[in-house]
Amino acid sequence: MAAVVLVTGGTGLVGKAIEYVIEHEPEGSRFGKRPGEKWIFAGSREADLRNSEATLKLFEKYQPTHVIHLAALVGGLFANRERKMTFLRDNMLINDNVLHTAHIKGTKKVISCLSTCVFPDKVEYPLTEEKVHLGPPHSSNFGYAHAKRMVDVQNHAYKEEFGCNFTSAIPTNVFGPHDNFDLKHAHVMPALIHKCYLSQKNNTPFKVMGDGSPLRQFIYSRDLAKLFIWQLREYDSVEPVILSVAENDEISIRELANSIVKVMNYPDKPEFENELNDNGQDRKPASNAKLMSLIGSDFKFTPFEQALGETVTWFLQNYGNARTGQSYV
């Protein structure tokens, strides 16, 4: 039977990257489209997945055999800090509707997207897949983190009670074309690209929140897309897989801001606001050992400078249509 792959959140950063890879990799190759496969990329306009009837209608319309479940209320540190209950409830509703509907419609496989925010704040590093539930997440995003963590619990319960093939992926910080470049609510990389652009345009200081010391691992959305396609086709365990660059590829927010300055040819230096309360988590280094042992060491990540360059080029070429001012109502 032909596979119908439904990508929820298909209009966002990660969804657009999967669409790009499926369209651009050679047909029939490891990450390219396979004969007989149909890919559906659904956004919130097509179905608000917080609503169970809308979710059921979406599944009845496309009859997916496989689901890559990306849809979520997503935001950076400051959005998460301001709206913990909304992040908790929206994401719990979305995840419950998608998994329940996939179960009752007999969907063969679901991969849900978590985040390294789900891990305990205080735990021995590096983060590895079996540490998800070992303690509370960082206080800045506990709403989002708990909703996402619960997906792993649901996946195990669906498997044990009903034998479902549901699993999850745990990406680190993602960036790339089609990101949300909102100044206040976005993640750090798109927010800083937008801020640097405005500083250059208006001849104003390029201001970065916090003191620049926190460390993060950044994965390019088009690399992550390949990893999702690999997981869909080649991985069949309920246990999550961390989808990340190597553990020693952490970079500081200061280094990130300096790289953005370089790529955008901004003539000045970034200025750090130095509000320590704005630093968020110091670091959350994740191991990609499980991933690399399964996918093979020949999988190559795009070099960071190249991926950042492609992202900035996309942003500059699409400034008029990009998400540059999304505010919550």
Q: Is the link from the previous residue into 126 a cis peptide, with omega within 30 of 0?
A: yes
The whole-angstrom separation of Cα 239 and Cα 243 is 13
DSSP code at position 276 = G
Return the residue of 5, 68, 113, 225 that touches ligand NAP, per CB under 6 A.
113
Classify 252 as helix, strand or coil. Answer: strand
* Those residues with Cβ within 8 angstroms of residue 285's Cβ, 6 or more apart along the chain or in another chain: 125, 126, 127, 215, 217, 247, 250
143 binds ligand NAP (CB under 6 A): no
C-beta separation of 149 from 168 below 8 A: no
Tokens 């059921």 map to which residue? 56
Q: What pairing do the DSSP bridges indicate for beta strands 109-113 and 218-220?
A: unpaired
Q: Which is nearer to ligand GDP, 109 or 187 (CB)?
A: 187
Find residue 39's DSSP bridge partners: 5
Rank residues 34 and 43 by Cβ distance to ligand NAP and give the closer one: 43
- x/- binding map, residues 53-72, to ligand NAP, per CB under 6 A? -----------------xxx
Tell me if 102 contacts ligand NAP by CB under 6 A.
no
Angle at 241 between CA 240 and CA 244, to 5 degrees: 140
Give the integer Cα–Cα distance in Å for 301 and 149: 27
Distances (CA, A) of 9 to 94, 174, 177, 243: 11, 14, 15, 18
Task: Give Cα 226 to chain centroid, integer Å.
Answer: 13
CB of 101 to ligand GDP, least distance (A): 29
In angstroms, what is the minimal distance from the CB of 203 to ligand NAP? 30
- Tell the smallest beta-carbon distance from residue 259 to ligand NAP (Å): 17
x/- string (CB under 6 A) for ligand GDP, residues 178-217? ---------xx--xx---------------xxx---x-x-
User: How many chain residues interact with ligand GDP (CB under 6 A)?
Assistant: 19
Least gap, CB of 279 to ligand GDP (angstroms): 5
Q: Which residues are bridge partners to 173 per DSSP?
A: 218
Dihedral of alpha carbons 327, 89, 175, 46, sign: negative
Segment contacting ligand GDP (CB under 6 A): 102-110, 233-241, 277-285, 290-298? Answer: 277-285
The active-site residue, picked from 144, 158, 197, 220, is 144
CA distance 297 to 65: 30
Q: Min. distance of Cβ 48 from ligand NAP in angstroms?
A: 5
Size of the site for ligand NAP (CB under 6 A): 27
144 catalytic per annotation = yes
**Residue 240 near ligand NAP by CB under 6 A:** no
* Residue 78 contacts which entry, ligand GDP, ligand NAP, none (Cβ below 5-8 A, type-dependent): ligand GDP
Q: Quick one: which of 278, 287, 290, 314 contacts ligand GDP (CB under 6 A)?
A: 278
Instruction: Tell me which residues in 11-70 interact with ligand GDP (CB under 6 A).
Output: none
Q: Confirm or reject binding of residue 279 to ligand GDP (CB under 6 A).
A: yes
Give me the least distance between CB of 185 and ligand GDP, in Å please: 8
Q: How many CA atoms lie within 13 A of 80 on its CB side?
A: 25
**Does residue 254 contact residue 271 with C-beta atoms inside 8 Å?**
no
Give contact residues for ligand GDP (rule: CB under 6 A). 76-78, 117, 173, 187-188, 191-192, 208-210, 214, 216, 253, 278-281
Residues making contact with ligand NAP (CB under 6 A): 9-15, 43-45, 47-50, 70-74, 94, 113, 115, 171, 173-174, 180, 187
Residues carrying an active site annotation: 144
